[in-house]
Structure 1
Amino acid sequence: MAESNSSFTVRVAHTADLDADTLTAARSLLEEVFEGDFDDHDWEHSLGGVHALAREGSELVGHAALVQRRLLHGGRALRTGYVEGVGVRADRRRHGYGAAMMAELERVVRGAYELGALGSSDEGLPFYTARGWLRWSGPTSALTPTGVARTAEEDGYVLVLPVTAELDPTGELVCDWREGDVW
């Protein structure tokens, strides 16, 4: 599905349906957006799900991805649509690209998952909370190869979009293990 307005389009596609040039352009865009703070692990976290790609004509100006993860909460493993790799080129920010990409990913979350989740930066918090994402107020942790480990530095920066899961946002939320940033 693609959303469009007079100046841009948003295409949603699975990683498997994107050609090498598109994936290379998306990674380059994210490296530029995150000013060198985007590594191989960050890119890997953005693969294997659906991508929302914002274009002006043939030029890629925005990217966001949604991948499946398992989050543990209240004694349950929740099928979670996890948002990764959200970025809009600096000269195109605040023109609706991020909102259009997130609307597409939120549609997928609501149709396929019990819960949406993401890890935000300080700058991203107002954007996501204005869209209805809720800041997780309880402790965050990760299920690591050596057991559950607190991720206190992430407390307050994990946001959720409830769909069908019953949540206590003051309780513990545990993410599955992965290399690099776990949230």
Structure 2
Amino acid sequence: MSLQLTLRSAHDLSTSEQQIIIDVCTQAYGEDFTTVLAQFPDALHLLAYWENKPASHACWVTRWLQLDGLPLLQTAYVEAVATVPAFQGRGIGSTVMQRVATEIQDYALGGLCAAHEHIGFYQRLGWERWRGPKAIRTVETLIATPDEDVMILRTAKTPSLDVSTTITAEWREGDLW
């Protein structure tokens, strides 16, 4: 049994690699990911192959999270974490996320928004659930997002922080978090 991980910039993905990522995410989420993937033109993609078959994916983009009393933090914001159902339960998704954690150490923070049922998965891998208020920053105001399950991963460059304070992210099209 062999697991192969491939890291690619979105700019370097071939058409076939783009389609593989779309297929993996579509199978895992049960919805068409064609337009979702297009929302991350500058992402870094990690694709896992099990026995030469596409099995899992995660990508990250740069976002700027801010916590009460701290400057903007350059954050590796993880998106589209997905494992094809036939390959779930084999540790492939965990391996992908462990590699992501290694790759993002030059950022001040790792961040993601988890589906409620996946919080335990991320916590086992060292991610922390944000307990304080959450909001999206616009030019005019803050939009409260109390129902979002935002999680962070501390890196070697993470400043001292309190997960019970307010955390904000810049506004964007699509999913705000």
TM-score, reference length from structure 1: 0.88
**1:68 and 1:139 mapped to 2: Cα distance?**
21
Q: Which residue of 1 aligns with 2:137?
A: 143
Q: Give structure 2 stretches of 5+ with no counterpart.
A: none
The residue identity in structure 1 corresponding to 2:125 is R
Per the alignment, do residues 39 and 182 of structure 1 end up closer, same or farther by CA in structure 2, a change over 3 Å counting?
A: farther
Is the counterpart of residue 115 in structure 1 residue 109 in structure 2? yes
The residue identity in structure 1 corresponding to 2:66 is L
Is the counterpart of residue 168 in structure 1 residue 168 in structure 2? no
**1:177 and 1:134 mapped to 2: Cα distance?**
22
Task: For residue 35 of structure 1, report the CA deviation from its aligned partner.
Answer: 1.1
Choose the corresponding residue for 1:30, options 25, 29, 43: 25
Choose the corresponding residue for 1:59, options 53, 59, 70: 53
The residue identity in structure 2 corresponding to 1:150 is A
- SS in structure 2 of the partner of residue 132 of structure 1: coil
- SS in structure 1 of the partner of residue 75 of structure 2: strand
State the identity as a percent: 29
**Count of aligned pairs:** 174
Q: Which residue of 2 aligns with 1:20?
A: 15
Per the alignment, do residues 45 and 105 of structure 1 end up closer, same or farther by CA in structure 2, a change over 3 Å counting?
A: farther
User: In the alignment, is the contact (CA less than 8 A) between 1:61 and 1:92 conserved in 2?
Assistant: yes
**1:103 and 1:47 mapped to 2: Cα distance?**
23
Choose the corresponding residue for 2:77, options 73, 76, 82: 82
What is the Cα-based RMSD across aligned positions, in Å? 1.6
**2:62 and 2:169 mapped to 1: Cα distance?**
11
- SS in structure 1 of the partner of residue 72 of structure 2: strand
Task: For residue 145 of structure 1, report the CA deviation from its aligned partner.
Answer: 4.8
Cα displacement string for residues 143-169 of structure 1 (whole angstroms, at most 9, x for unaligned residues)? 135421101121xx1110112222111
Task: For residue 81 of structure 1, report the CA deviation from its aligned partner.
Answer: 0.5
| The 10-residue stretch of structure 1 (131-140 or 52-61) with the greater mean CA deviation from structure 2 | 52-61
Per the alignment, do residues 64 and 47 of structure 1 end up closer, same or farther by CA in structure 2, a change over 3 Å counting?
A: farther
The residue identity in structure 2 corresponding to 1:160 is I
Task: For residue 43 of structure 1, report the CA deviation from its aligned partner.
Answer: 1.9
- Following TM superposition, the consecutive aligned residue runs of length 4 or more in structure 1 with deviations greater than 3 angstroms are 44-47
TM-score, reference length from structure 2: 0.91
User: In the alignment, is the contact (CA less than 8 A) between 2:56 and 2:83 conserved in 1?
Assistant: yes
Per the alignment, do residues 178 and 26 of structure 1 end up closer, same or farther by CA in structure 2, a change over 3 Å counting?
A: same
User: In the alignment, is the contact (CA less than 8 A) between 1:46 and 1:85 conserved in 2?
Assistant: no
**1:46 and 1:62 mapped to 2: Cα distance?**
17
**1:46 and 1:126 mapped to 2: Cα distance?**
26
